[in-house]
Amino acid sequence: MPGEAKHISSFDAALYGLKNDVLMMSSLTDRIFQTAFEALLKRDSELCDHVVAEDEEIDILEKQVDQQGVNLLLRFHPVASDMREVVSAMKVSANLERIADQSVTIARRAKHLNNRPAARELALLEPPYRLAVTIFRDSVRTFADGDCELARMLKLKDRELDAVTRDVSEKLVARATVDSELVPSYVDLILVARALERIGDHATNIAEDSFWR
């Protein structure tokens, strides 16, 4: 039936557009995350402010994706499998927004650290950062490519990230007991480690939401 075919192609086009918007949002989130950690390493307060400004764009995009998804559901009344595709994209978008928020946390802690002498222990955060970036990018691949096997592997990587960030936090707490002058800096570094752990959690959610559909 021509009318039914038109309805199906219109829905497919709208769903394709929704997914593309989510992928565009993921690229911006990736950039914000990288910039936040770069600001931390380089002690660059201007970059910190740039992260906060770009996060506002992510917030706008997340609201747009959410509204697009609702409009798509109301307009087409899709069958269960198609409805899950729409809701999946909306859930992925929400987790991208949370990753951007955690990147802002990193940038704000970096700005606090810039007001104090550089802490050598900053280097402890580089391994968990690299692992968090890998988990995040792989989670986006699971959404884009539908890679179920990769999604399963991410759970193991997320557990590894949890262990690494816990180890970093324990080392920082131990150093705080012998160097009280640097306690404020150690606290900020611990909060950065927690932000990296949460980014891993949200990225794992993205992988899981990609296969909720």
- Please tell me the predicted confidence (pLDDT) of residue 1: 46
- 3, 13, 19 from 37: Cα distances, Å: 51, 37, 27
Instruction: Please state, in angstroms and rounded to a whole number, the distance separating the CA atoms of residues 172 and 182.
Output: 10
Average pLDDT, 10 consecutive residues per value, the chain (213 residues): 59 96 98 98 98 96 98 94 95 98 99 95 98 98 90 94 98 94 96 99 95 60
Give the pLDDT of residue 146.
Answer: 85
**How many CB atoms sit inside 10 A of residue 164's CB?**
22
The pLDDT score that the predictor gives to residue 7 is 53
Q: How far apart are CA 4 and CA 209, in angstroms?
A: 29
SS3 content of the chain, % helix, strand, coil (to 5): 90, 0, 10
In what helix (H) or strand (E) does residue 36 lie, and over which residues does it extend? helix 2-42
Confirm whether pTM is higher than 0.85: yes
In 10 A of CB 116, how many CB atoms? 13
For 129, half-sphere exposure in the C-beta direction (CA atoms, 13 angstrom radius) is: 20
Domains detected in the chain: 2-210 (1.20.58.220)
- Lookup: tokens for 20: 């593309």
| CA distance between the termini of the chain | 27
Distance in angstroms (rounded) separating the CA atoms of residues 59 and 29: 11
| Short-list 6, 101, 109, CA closest to 56 | 101
